[in-house]
Each structure stands twice: as C-alpha cells, then as structure tokens.
Structure 1
Amino acid sequence: MAAPGKMLVRSKSGLRTVSLEEDVSSPFLLDEPPWIPDNECSSCIQCQKKFDWSCRRHHCRRCGRIFCSSCCDNSAPLPRMSFVDPVRQCADCVLKTKRENDFFEKYVKTLINGATFHVKRMVNNQETLDVSVCKMSADQRYITFEGGNGLEPINLTRLEGVQIITSGADAQGNTVASGISLKFSNRQGDLQKLQLSAPETTNKRPCLLWIAAMQKAVKLLYETRGVSATTPVTP
C-alpha cells in the first residue's frame, strides 16, 4: 500500500508536511494543538516568572502551553506532528518527543521490512495455520500478510488488544518472546484474533525484532488512547 500524497502547509508553529487525504494519514500522527491565548497567561507555566517586555511568551509546539524562553528553549524534530524542521518544545514535551523519535528512527523500518511467521486463526470454527510474511504498510496504517491464504490486512486503528506470547526464560532469567497475539475488528466490525509465532525451522531473530518493534508501535498508539497496550501471556 503506497503512502498517500502530501503537501506543505505553514502554520503558526512552523512548516508541516500533511496528507492530502486526512482519512488515510498515519495513525501515529498527532494533531497540532491549539495555542493558549497570550492574554490568558500572565506568567510562565513552569517557573511562574511574570511576563513583561524583557520576558517574552513562548508557546510549546507540542502542547500549546506558554513558557518563558528559559523553560521552553528545547528544539527537536517532531515527526508525529509532521513538522519539517525542529520546533520549540517545553522540557516535558521534548522528553516525550525524543522517546517517540526513537521509534520512528529504529523500529518503523523493521515493521515495514517484515518477518515470516506462522499465523494461527479460526476459520469456520476450525483452527488454520498459514505461513506469511507480516509487514506494516508504507503508509503505517495496516499490518499486511504476504503468502497467507485469505488473510486480510489489519487496520492498526482497529486493534482491540495485544498479547505477547512467551516461551520460558533465557540463561539470564529474561522472559523470551515467541510470538504475538492480535485482537482486532475486521471491516465488518466482527472481533477477530490472530496468533503470530516464530517458525522453529528458521532464524528467529527477524521475528523477535519485529515483535519488539510491534510492541513499541502498539504502546505508542495506545498511549494516545489512554489504555494499556500489551499483556504478556504463556501458550
């Protein structure tokens, strides 16, 4: 699935690259926040310093709140709001942004490249097993399946629950992931469930990296909804 067309727009916060079709934009994006009006804030939200001719107001581009220059002097890329250049952010927001940028820089490519899984599901009350290459689409909206028999793409906005499947612990006592279970609503609104497991006969590393990246993606999506992202389970 190709990424949607985009255009450059200039807002009061900076230059942004936005989708030509709002309903096909990446679910990882955030809307640009409204700015708190200047006349509603007489002092810095962080340090309470009064604003005057020598202490000017500065809006954080991520939260829209008003700070003095000292409390809002961070500049960082903000891809979740599609800004072309780094933008001014307060201390709290820049920490969130840097954690999220780590996802875009390290994990999106892993998800788009995909990995080969055994995909277990129920069809007509019977359990079926397919071998499929699972990928995130280029527009970051779907999980797609190459090689699966009749497996439809999963819209990431329709994910209802995610569980990490574990298979014991390694020599250091760390829990080892062996798969991931996805619960979602299909296009008809019916609740479905797929279980993706790393095949025993292949190199599991790409699968484990994909699962780890998927955990990061779901956490990012669910944080915006205010719900818990994942629950580890054993088979």
Structure 2
Amino acid sequence: MKADPSVTLIGDLVGSRRTKDRGVVHGRLEQALAAVNEAYAPPVPLRVTVGDEFQGIFASLGAAIAATLRLRVALLPDVDVRQGIGWGRVLVLSEAPRVEDGPGWWAARAAIETVEAYERKAPLRAVRTAYVAADDEPGPDPALVNAALMGRDHLVSSLSQRSMSVLDGLMRGRQQQEIAEDLHISPSAVSQRIRADGIGVLLAADELVRAV
C-alpha cells in the first residue's frame, strides 16, 4: 500500500557562524523548537540534526507554515532562518536511531535550495521560506502556497525589532496592554503598529493558512 504524503520541514540558520557566541544561538534555537513542538505536537518533532540544521514532520501543511513563522520570529533579530517545506512520501529506514528518506525529504531539501536561490536575487532576498511538492504527489498548489509565503516573509523582514516583539506577543496570546507595558509604550502605540506595519494582516493570514 502506498503511504500518504507527509509534510516535511528542513531549516537552517543564516549567518550563525558569524555570531560571537554560537552556544547562545544554539540555545535559542533549541528553545524555539521546543516551543513549536509543544504548540503543534508534530508527528515527528522538530530536532537539531547537524550543526545549525533542524527537521521534523507536521500533521498538516497549515501547521508547518504556521511553525515556520513562529520559529523565524523567535530567532530574529539576532539570527535569521531559511526553511523548506516539502510534500511527499517519507520512508522510515530504521527506528533506532530513526533514519528517514524518500520524496518528502527530497522535496523539503529542494525547497531549501529554492530559498538559497532567492537570496541571490535582490528583489527576493527577504523571502526565507519555500514549498516544494514531490512530482508524483498531488497536493496543495505550490504556486499559491509560495505566493503566500513570499508576501508573509517580506512583511516580516520589514518589521522593526519593536514591531517584531508586538507580533511575537500577539501570536503567543498576550493582550495589547501587556505588550505595551513590556515595551514601555502606550496601548495606542501598539494598536498603531498593528495597523501601520501590517501586523494585523500577518495575523489574519496566519489564521487562514492554519486551516490548509
């Protein structure tokens, strides 16, 4: 029997080797992965594989897309992350230690390579996430998914550090009053950032995409 397609995710940190304390960066990555694993309970939890690379398998495309946003926001502004989402079958070659292969992972690797190609094009340099489906696996239209990812990543890349903190707080369910107190600004200033910086659009799009 042919296995159902899986939603795979591969990510790696951008420019982490230039940081002064890679131990601190690695700790933040581990913390961000743990938070996403707790929130989304992926069938195969996100885990660091080699160096600054991580991977996991999600129950749905929407969950994987939402996870990529939260991981990126958790790590910025100190370090950025490129992430590739794949759609395809996954083969488990062994359980202990767990070794996987198959079109799902090849697709995620191709998606990471797509992001690397974006980085060589000035107009697309802000895009940090891509989606690739295996050739023989029907699934969500890659063109539509990548169009949404491009717009989302561009908005995130344009945010100031303070607006990033507002976005992070709202995604974690915090109230605007709490966020304002933490940032030592007024609640009206938080509301203004949500409207003017596109944070409201990011949150609305995030809610819609989680149903995919």
TM-score scaled to structure 2, two decimals? Answer: 0.32
* Bigger RCO of structures 1 and 2 (CA < 8 A, at least 6 apart): 2
User: Higher strand share goes to which structure?
Assistant: 1
TM-score, length-scaled by structure 1: 0.30
More helix by share: 2
Larger Rg: 1
